[in-house]
Amino acid sequence: MAGGRMSGEESGSLLIIGGNEDKQGDCVILRRFVAMAGGREARIALVTTATERPCETGEEYRSIFTDLGAASVGVVAVANRQAANDRYQSREFDECTGIFFTGGDQLRLTSILGGSEVDAAIRRAFRRGVVIAGTSAGAAVMSDTMIVDGSSSATPKKSTLSMAHGMGLLAEVVIDQHFAQRGRINRLLAAVAQNPHILGVGIDEDTALVVSPRRVFEVIGSQTVTVIDGKRVVHSNISESRQYDPLALTNVMLHILPSGYGYDLKRRVPYERG
């Protein structure tokens, strides 16, 4: 699903969720999505492609967003390439104010939607300012490069992960989700070691990034976001090491950001919100 890169000046906002967000209490993250999409005028297109339980998952989120005050919630059931190239399906995105990708398998999203009519419609919507949100697998696909799979072993290694092209809605970033809960810092370090220019962003469960068109994000939710900046790395053995050798990586910059903090992706600077 690696389409053309979006520039911040002509795109909407993103809400990128680490998974397992609160759906029964205050629903801080999902409530924020509805507000960003227009509140009581929100028209939400819910994409269930990533999950193998589209009916159950779609109905769950439809009920939540309706209870949170959205004007309409349409479930876009795109289960295969034929459906993804159905122009009737793509029309669901022409009038929406918010698009939400559920969790599941991120490769289902890219392999089914990539280059399709639905993909093109989603990109048009984003360019006109529609907010796009995704949780778990729906978060992983937001960046140019996404982590498809990888071990959360005790020692970071070259073999820790496999990566593929994502949607490219957020440039020069790679996202990992369920971050602290599944001990994924080692595989994110391996991703940054392979390309130090890319920021590694690990999002805990019930936590999200709210990314503005200016490429500044704020953290919301109950846990934290980890940012790994490898731009100033002095030494790495990733190019000469064997597949299962331990990774060497020096002078890595790391930030831990809870709610109330944010990060400027252009300047690579964290900040505390006033």
Classify residue 231 by its DSSP letter. Answer: T
Q: How far apart are CA 255 and CA 201, in angstroms?
A: 10
What residues have CB less than 8 Å from 82, skipping those under 6 apart? none
Nearest to 225 by CA among 195, 190, 255: 255
**Measuring CA to CA, how many Å separate 156 from each of 140, 183, 192?**
20, 11, 11
Active site residues: 136, 178, 205
Closest CA to 122 of 60, 59, 169: 169
DSSP of 6-52? PPGGG---EEEE-SS--SSS--HHHHHHHHHTTGGG-EEEEE-TT-S
| CA separation, residue 111 to residues 107, 210, 217 (Å) | 6, 26, 28
Q: 17: number of CA atoms within 13 Å, CB side?
A: 26
42 with 68: CB under 8 angstroms? no
180-202 burial string, b = 16+ CB within 10 Å, else e? beeebbbbbbbbbbbebebbbbb
